[in-house]
Amino acid sequence: MPCETDVAGVPADMTLHARYRRILLAQMDEHVSSIHPTAVVSPEAHIGDDVNIGPFCVIEPDVEIADGCHLNANVTIKSGSHIGPENIFCEGSVIGGLPQHLRMPESVGDLWIGAGNIIREHVTINRGLGAGESTRIGNENMLMVGVHIAHDCVVGNHVLMTNNVLLAGHVLVEDHAYLGGAAAVHQFCRIGCYAMIGGMSRLIKDAPPFVTVDGATSRVVGLNTVGLRRNGFDTPLIRQLKAAYRVLYRSDLALEEALDKLEVDFQEEPVAHFHRFLRCSQRGITAERRPRHDDETFRIADFREDDDDFQRRAV
């Protein structure tokens, strides 16, 4: 019989993100409206209700912080930052810094952050490069220690970036993507929804949605089957995604031919997102890792209808 709460007193049916957020707040000071006397907060900053600002934080002018945010010690929020409610910023993070670009204009853009994000220690997020341009972070993302997000990036919702992930300028990361430790992404690249980018990957082309990129080779090695199952994708839907994957990577069709076939044969969501995402590519698509020997085969996860355990089958 499943228990209703775990040992930390957190409801068992909460999402992992919400559970982690609640436990993190429990380890901090009581979450009430409070500004530490050593914090430097500009009178031109707009601070919402129930905002906790810790020791030695710096809040510059032209900053908006919505209700319920929690800033630990030594957090810096720079001008041009617009922060939604219920975000957590841990020690040493610098939010809304100027773009790291030698051709930075005199007037730069801004930064918009949604709601419920967890931003761990020493994360840096830069503003948009030009006036009227923005860096945008969605809702309920987790950015672990040392993540850097450069100017004009767009990060969706429920994205997890582990330690020392680096995004160059104008990178797009769609919802539910996962980036492993020290992964580096070239400017203007895109990462599709539910993609899993392995640690130490170096992406110089777009990573399609739903796939896994191997950290050792920075090549695609199949679907992100485990991640898909964890996010509620059932067996028939995963099989549809596999069929679309084989058209793209295993059919020996030219790219345009493969995209045409995907558009005709897979018109229902979410599989239809494959061809929509890929047709917009400007930098090209990350290639599949090929066998090193003629007798080598790659295997991707498949699931039995009557069992949650999966078995490996060659494809």
Residue whose structure tokens are 């912080």? 65
Between strands 190-191 and 196-197, the pairing is unpaired
Catalytic residue among 54, 82, 152, 214: 152
> For residue 135, what are the β-bridge partners?
111
Active-site residue, 152 included: yes
Q: 72-76 long-range CB contacts below 8 Å, 24 or more apart?
A: 72/28
Residue whose structure tokens are 């992100």? 224
Catalytic residue among 122, 151, 176, 275: 151
Distance of CA 115 to the CA centre of its chain: 14
CA distances for 56 relative to 78, 177, 183, 287, angstroms = 14, 33, 31, 47
Cβ atoms within 10 Å of 33's Cβ, excluding its own:
13
**How does 134-156 read in b/e, with b if 16+ C-beta sit within 10 Å?**
bbbbbbbbbbbbbbbbbbbbbbb
Catalytic residue among 114, 128, 169, 198: 169
Q: What residues are annotated to the active site?
A: 151-152, 169
